[in-house]
Every structure is written in structure tokens, then in C-alpha cells.
Chains A and B, each alone.
Chain A
Amino acid sequence: MGGFDFDVIERSVGYLFREGMTFTLTLTGMAALGGIVFGTLLAMMRLSSFRVLAIVATGYVNLMRSIPLLLVIFWFYFLVPYIGAWMTGSSQPIQVGAFASSVITFTMFEAAYYSEIMRAGIQSIPRGQVSAGYALGLDYWQTMGRIVLPQAFRNMIPILLTQTIILFQDTSLVYVLSITDFLGAASKIAQRDGRLVEMYLFAALVYFVISFSLSVVVKRLQQKIAIVR
């Protein structure tokens, strides 16, 4: 181990977490929140009796699930400025910035996966619950918001969290946009100090510890929250 210098970690750990991990967690949090909200809407569209809505949502989900995430990141990064320009009628591409672009990308991409989870969750609620809501005079949105979604969401929390752990790892792909997320920060130090092995080992360890601890929490949770019927 003589050739290795693990002191580089101690010297850079403040920067790694302050800059890098903060970004990674912010992106994960925002994309998870946005993805679950958007994904739930997609799931409701797919299960809707309006054929057009169902077809649009199904097409979207299939598209997102059939393209590599890395490509989607590229596409959004290069396309969003033009779409923004087109929507606002501007002649110049709109500057979106790497952060906004990555939040949008991950929200849109993860929504496809969250929507599959929420769809299963909604379908796991007996039809009779919907009938009971309607029979009491609740409308579609009230029945969804007060009766179906709270139960579906609760049933699906473990799987939603598992998907979020995957999202947490996937956010490291934003390094292709030269963003300083946790891996990006580690990578910068690694190259500056010529300590690739040490830094990438450390980065892997950090991702492992966080992801693995979370999945243990999820397992515990799973046993606790099943709704008593």
C-alpha cells in the first residue's frame, strides 16, 4: 500500500460533502419529489377511462423506459434550451443551466418508473373503495386524493424508497454535464492530485454506506406499515 496516499481524502472530505454531496442530495430529493408527483399523475392517466390520456401516458412511460438514462441526460441538456426558446418565442436558445437541466431530466425520467409503482399501488386498492367514495358523493379527485392515493402510497412506500435509492446512485451520471455532484467533486480532486484509486474507492464506499443503510431501513419499514384491513 506504499504507493497510495489516503490523506487526500482527509484533506478534501469537507469539500466533497459540502459541495458534492449537497448537490447530489438536493438533486435526488427534488427529482424524487417531482418524479413521484408527475409519476402519480401518469399512473392516473394510464388507468383513466379516457383512451387518449391512457395512450399518451403509456407511450411516454415506454419511451422513457426504453432509452438509456445517459442519452436522456444529453438530450435534455442540449434540447431544453431550444424547447424553452420555442415556448417563449425567443429567437435565442434559453440558458437553462446544468442544475435545472439535470433536475428536469431526472424528474421526467424517474416519473416513468415511479408511475409504474404508483399504478401497481392504485390497482392494489379494491374497486369497492372507489365505489364507496363515489356512493358517498365524492368526485373523482376527492376519491383519488382522500381514499385511493393515501392507501396506494402507503402500500408502496417501501418500493418508492427503493426506487429513490436507485435514483440516488443514478444522479452520479450528471458528471457528463461537468456538474460537481459527489462523484464529480471526487473526480476533480482525484485528477488534480493524481489520486484516482484512493478517491474512487472512497466515493464507492460512501455510496455503498448510504445506499445500503437506506435499504436496511426500507426493509424494517416494510414490516411495519402494512395497513390492517
Chain B
Amino acid sequence: MPMIEIRDVSKWYGSFQVLKDCTTNVEKGEVIVVCGPSGSGKSTLIKTVNALEPFQKGNIVVDGIVVNDPKTDLPKLRARVGMVFQHFELFPHLSVTENLTLAQIKVLNRTPDEARVRGLKYLDRVGLMEQKDKYPGQLSGGQQQRVAIARALSMDPICMLFDEPTSALDPEMINEVLDVMVLLAKEGMTMMVVTHEMGFARKVAHRVIFMDEGQIVEDATKDDFFGKPRSERAQQFLAKILHH
């Protein structure tokens, strides 16, 4: 059984269709990179996986749980699916430690001490132990994103979703975040990553999905995708972002 199963998912904003019959699977331990031009629906697609974006047609099953079933306990499901956002979305009124522990305490009912130990373990993993008492506004963008990754990991997720995790960062901070993600991928975390970082895709992705105009145009293994993409649109896209 795949960890994430996306079947025939369509979504409309009014009469405008943003997702067109998207179908793909993410197996346990697999790293999938989703790329495509802006406005192609890739962020929308990844947000349907934890039901941050509702959709009108199709099915999504995460670890055997049907996301779009009205009876599904969404908070419970979301607590098991880690998500990292383009703009970090740390809570600016809480310290780094409080950011790490809030959901552990409120959602997983861990004691504050347990949550602290767990949170700081992951903070140490992303190399930011000395920032534990600071506030998000005192950190650089790259540091904030690493804290956001640690925050998601401290919930012990079964898989991680990354929505353009490096596209709001200054160039010199991109690598510190990618390094953490590469580490995570090598540890066997199931990951679905929306990104334009083709270096990252080359290094750790198992499959690459190329989207355009709400459709999954290409869903290929990494070698196939970079070697000989079948669709013309994927070839054009690759040519545009790889030529320098």
C-alpha cells in the first residue's frame, strides 16, 4: 500500500480548473520532487494531501486514511503529516522552543518536559540548539526554515510535505536548508517536495513529477526525467532552468 495515493484529483476555483485528474503514488521511503512553471498547480496539489486545500473530485489516501472522507478526523491526520511552507510560518509571538512544543503538547498530549526534550533533539539535528530561546524574528530566513523543519519533525510524522521550502530564501541560505532535507531523505523519510532545486532532485529524488496547467504531464524516475523527458513541455522547462 502506498503511503500517499492521489487518484483522479480535480479542483476548481469557480469555473477555473486548477487541478485536472491528477494521479500519482508516493511509496513509503520514497522522495518525490514536484516541479513545473508557476501557476501549474503544484503547491495546490501538495496542499490537498493534508486537506489544507479541499478538492471537488477524486480521492486521496494517506496511510490508509481517506483524506476527503467527511468522517476523517483531519487534525489527527494532519498531526501525522509534516508540512514545511515557503514562508516558514513560524509563530512570531512564540519562542523557538515554544514553536517546537506547542502542537506536541496540544495535539499529541505530551507533557511540556517530554515535548521540550523531543523538540530540542530535532533543533539540535538541524544545528540550531543555541537559538532555542530566541524568537523567530531574530533568526535568518535559513535558520527559520530549519526551525520549521524541526517543528514538523518533532511531531514524529509518517511523511513530510515541502511546499517550495527554499524559494523565499536568499541564495546563500538555500544550501543550509537543502542539506537538512538531504539528510532527512537519506534517513528514509517519505517526502513530497515542491521545488525548483534540480540539484536536490538529482541528489536524492526517486521520482520527479512535472506539472503544467493543473495536469501531471510527466511522472518519471529521476534518471528518465533528467535523461529523456518524454513531453515537450518538460523538455522546454528543463532547458529553461538548467541552462546556467
Assess the B137–A136 pair: CB atoms within 8 A: no
Cβ of A147 to closest chain B Cβ, rounded Å: 6
Asked, given contacts A132-B85, A136-B151, whether A228 binds B138 with beta carbons under 8 Å apart, the answer is yes
Cβ of B104 to closest chain A Cβ, rounded Å: 9
Within 8 A of A (CB), among B29-75: 47, 50, 52, 74-75
Closest to B135 in A: A228
Within 8 A of A (CB), among B80-125: 80-83, 85, 87, 89-93, 102-103, 106-108
Closest to B52 in A: A131
Assess the B155–A137 pair: CB atoms within 8 A: yes
Number of A-B residue pairs at CB separation under 8 A:
73
Closest to B89 in A: A132
Chain A residues with CB below 8 A from B102, complex form: 136, 138, 146
Assess the A146–B106 pair: CB atoms within 8 A: yes
- Apart from the given pairs A134-B78, A137-B103, 18 other A-B contacts in the complex at a CB distance below 8 Å: A126-B89, A128-B87, A129-B89, A129-B91, A131-B47, A131-B89, A132-B83, A135-B52, A135-B85, A136-B79, A136-B151, A137-B75, A137-B108, A137-B155, A138-B103, A147-B91, A228-B138, A229-B136
Among A136, A147, A150, A229, point to the contact of B78 (Cβ < 8 A): A136
Chain A residues with CB below 8 A from B243, complex form: none
Task: Compute how far the CA of A57 lies from the CA of B8 in the bound complex, rounded to whole angstroms.
Answer: 39
Asked, given contacts A137-B78, A137-B155, whether A131 binds B85 with beta carbons under 8 Å apart, the answer is yes
Closest to B78 in A: A137
Among B93, B107, B136, point to the contact of A138 (Cβ < 8 A): B107
B228 contacts the other chain (CB 8 A)? no
Assess the B76–A137 pair: CB atoms within 8 A: yes
Assess the A228–B137 pair: CB atoms within 8 A: yes
Assess the A229–B92 pair: CB atoms within 8 A: yes
Task: Compute how far the CA of A150 lies from the CA of B102 in the bound complex, rounded to whole angstroms.
Answer: 14
Assess the A138–B75 pair: CB atoms within 8 A: yes
Task: Compute how far the CA of A135 lies from the CA of B89 in the bound complex, rounded to whole angstroms.
Answer: 11
Among A131, A136, A227, point to the contact of B103 (Cβ < 8 A): A136
Task: Compute how far the CA of A125 lies from the CA of B155 in the bound complex, rounded to whole angstroms.
Answer: 24
A residues with a Cβ closer than 8 A to B are 126, 128-129, 131-132, 134-139, 142, 146-147, 150-151, 154, 227-229
Task: Compute how far the CA of A128 lies from the CA of B88 in the bound complex, rounded to whole angstroms.
Answer: 9
Cβ of A98 to closest chain B Cβ, rounded Å: 41
Asked, given contacts A131-B85, A137-B103, whether A228 binds B75 with beta carbons under 8 Å apart, the answer is no
Chain A residues with CB below 8 A from B74, complex form: 134
Assess the B92–A227 pair: CB atoms within 8 A: yes
Assess the A142–B106 pair: CB atoms within 8 A: yes
Cβ of A38 to closest chain B Cβ, rounded Å: 23
Cβ of A99 to closest chain B Cβ, rounded Å: 37
Cβ of B9 to closest chain A Cβ, rounded Å: 19
Can you list 30 A-B contacts with CB-CB less than 8 angstroms, sorted by A residue number? A126-B87, A126-B89, A128-B87, A128-B89, A129-B91, A131-B47, A132-B83, A132-B85, A132-B90, A132-B91, A134-B52, A136-B102, A136-B151, A136-B152, A137-B77, A137-B103, A137-B108, A137-B155, A138-B75, A138-B102, A138-B106, A139-B75, A146-B91, A146-B102, A150-B93, A151-B92, A227-B92, A228-B135, A228-B138, A229-B92
Assess the A136–B107 pair: CB atoms within 8 A: yes
